[in-house]
Amino acid sequence: MWMFGEQAWRLTRGKVGRAHSTLMPCSPIPRCFVSDATLDAQDLDDVRYPLDASRFPEGIDIAIPDYAIARGKGLHDANMGRLPVMEVEGITIGNTAPCERLVAKRLGMQGKDDLEAALIDQCCENIADISAAYQKEKGDDAGAWLTTKMPEWAAKLEKSIGANSGYAVGEATTQADVRVYNLMREYFDAPEHKTAFAATPKLLAIADRIAAIPAVVAYLAARKVTAI
């Protein structure tokens, strides 16, 4: 399993290196990405840089000094000096999406063929666009955006998965289902956010199913504390 940042991934085989992230969640970033296998942390080196949010006004290097040191050593070059990066079999991969895709592929969570893989990508990109719209448009009143705009996005997202039900794509759990879960239960995680998805039963069912996977429950119970 690799964990990096907010993510937990169960690999079917192989030892992997380490993942460097921070206690600060990236956006958008799945906080939980697991198969329904038993969690096993032996292949994981989950590196998180301690963060002092109160020192952000002094700059990121002051708020997260270990990140500044690692970046100075070139550890974050693959993500253009940013977080997160993931080392796999001696190769460093930067940027969240390709890391997710690689792990999903190795876990068999990228669909049964290239068409399903494209639909999974479609769902993930649609969700990324929703999170980006939220960050761009919310201004000082996130609550208003969630009440007015989020239900519209949720309805469109539900429509985008077409006739599928139970799974966002195909007939098995994929990266897309985890992304749906993440959007609804981790990204928008306050109780009042639930109303934004009140009229999207298919999305709700997907999120509920992922949340009930024993490995997800175990991971969330043991997850490292997030600073902000």
How near is the Cβ of 213 to ligand GSH at its closest, in Å? Answer: 24
Dihedral sign from CA coordinates of 62, 64, 70, 76:
negative
For the residues of 41-57, what is the DSSP string, one character each? GGG--EEEE---GGGGG
How near is the Cβ of 125 to ligand GSH at its closest, in Å? Answer: 12
Nearest to ligand GSH of 99, 215 (CB atom)? 99
Nearest to ligand GSH of 70, 155 (CB atom)? 70
Nearest to ligand GSH of 101, 202 (CB atom)? 101
Beta strands per DSSP E along the chain: 2-4, 7-9, 19-22, 46-49, 85-88, 91-94
How near is the Cβ of 192 to ligand GSH at its closest, in Å? Answer: 24
Write 168-172 long-range contacts (CB < 8 A, 24+): 168/119, 168/120, 168/123, 168/206, 169/111, 169/116, 169/119, 169/120, 169/123, 170/111, 170/112, 170/116, 170/119, 172/109, 172/112
How near is the Cβ of 227 to ligand GSH at its closest, in Å? Answer: 13
How near is the Cβ of 163 to ligand GSH at its closest, in Å? Answer: 31
How near is the Cβ of 20 to ligand GSH at its closest, in Å? Answer: 10
The Cβ of residue 30 has, within 10 Å, a number of other Cβ atoms equal to 27
Nearest to ligand GSH of 84, 111 (CB atom)? 84
Nearest to ligand GSH of 60, 204 (CB atom)? 60
Q: Which amino acid, residue 154? A: A
Interface contacts to ligand GSH, rule CB under 6 A = 26, 60, 79, 81-84, 95-96
Nearest to ligand GSH of 178, 215 (CB atom)? 178
Question: Are residues 188 and 135 in contact, defined by beta-carbon separation less than 8 angstroms?
Answer: no
